[in-house]
Structure 1
């Protein structure tokens, strides 16, 4: 909670500490910044908090700290600026993305921005800027549009592959995401190897009940061998040489667990669990410390390591069986379950808890 000037200083210090030459309060001066503001910020927390931005008033006009022109098409004022008392010369952003002018000397939260030359596919929730759903990370690329082969190559270069729907939960989630867009996207679905036999990009068989064909496939003119998904969730076969947006997915495909971890093999992948030694005082941590410790234990960049999330009844039974073999621990073990973002609304890192399957 800092003044506007001190927040700027803190942003610069943090960027230098992280190895970058510069850092400053966030500016919203292009489409990407607006996408972040409207798409990411409201989900950080359910609160009435205000955050300092890099917008300030000087020389009879509003300016961004990075020197870029101020274009109000990228943000919206809240019946402001009104400069109450003649001392409101710095702008803050609310959780809904609207801006408000405030006294620069008041203490508030703030948002920093720093340049980054490398995009990491995995960070934070195990997905970085990708969207996490269950055990997978997804990214919807809508530009530039590519052929099916090039789209797959792009996904593979990031350690993933084109979309593969393996169960009803994934089908439901993907369908719900499609209603948010008007684009169509390449998936991994194709019959390139054998006409009429559709498989996913990794050659895994596709299940008919998980693919809703849109009165297709019809292999028009004998040249449609790759599957596209539309905004209504329906699939269509298309010419693989056509250019389209595409959906990448990523998940950890390790074959062994690190030493000291317990393994559980599912139909989708290998899960690894680390149960801390509650008799070892050095392993007693706060929730935040445990969260950081788990993240530090990921064996590679293509793996995720988080506090426990219980996604289904089978996983619940497995965890209970593992704990039943240990001496009774009156303190218990931390899990990822929390209501930090919204009091009384319990989630595993922002994923809605299915109580009937996971906790009861």
Structure 2
């Protein structure tokens, strides 16, 4: 989750943390102990350092009575216990507190159960489903059934499956019509598979549907695939491409989206606002993106119309005579314009130049409002992971606007990464530079 064990920088922050943990202690049964990122120096038992190698300042560290005492000469890690600091055997299994920079972007939606491995996000489901049902379940998450493309992928998926001790479906299936294994990890997607990690005792049966699964009981933890009847049931893992989205943006595949449903601007003002966050007004390029946006807006109960980045070349037409020809529309971005590859235009009323999406009318795109109408809007940008090719633009036609938009650069509410059984505490003021995450998963001190 791109975080470290907690470092406390001053007495004020210590008070905040101790108050948070006191409240957590009251909510949990028994006596709670929490690892923090403090460890005893090997060459000086009286000196303590944080995980970033900086020295702990004893002037504000609130040690317990007669602590640290290095009991049995074997207490070298720092914990918080009953609102005071204590030294503890590093092999003890305790709760722990993590922190991460407030402006550090999130790679995966960990709050939704995803974990990051090798530029991909994985989510384990223990539901026992047929392979086709698992495929649909992942599609419902806007994800794919897990697919192994590299040895690093194999190690990551094996580790995840082994941690739950459950066999899982994989994203390849044998297709009799072409007599080969194909990657079929989402509906309507097929391509030849080129990476395999079969067990030596795999059993192919021409009389059934043959699918690939990963066997957590295999003696070899690398070559652990086996052939399974597709109509039987297994657990499964969904995957999404990992990426980095700026704070406040939500990720779908390789795009990041910022929903500004509570701010109303003209089309040009909305475009300018998005550009201030190194993004653009929303561009929708596929049915998948359209469904994602529509679903998100419906879940948020967002009924208002929202500006998107599309414009029409033909204005003034009436009575539903809007053109359905893609050549008559263009996406207008900060770097230029591009002809759309996908359209969801609905013809109605007098056409204007600026398009909006209407979640109250099945997510259709409309052009019947003047461009200076104040509406909410959606920004988007590509994820930043080094793998997304720069988008190509045909012209550079960014218009100037006479309206100056004053944007206050307050920290947007971030997507907070949390693990199983966690409680998240985020300081609301712009002066706080970290996010605090507490977890009651018992682990030993991270060395």
TM bucket by the smaller chain? 0.3 to 0.5
More helix per residue = 1
Q: Which has the larger radius of gyration?
A: 2
Which has the bigger relative contact order, CA under 8 A and spacing at least 6?
Answer: 2
More strand per residue = 2
Length-normalised TM-score, structure 2: 0.35
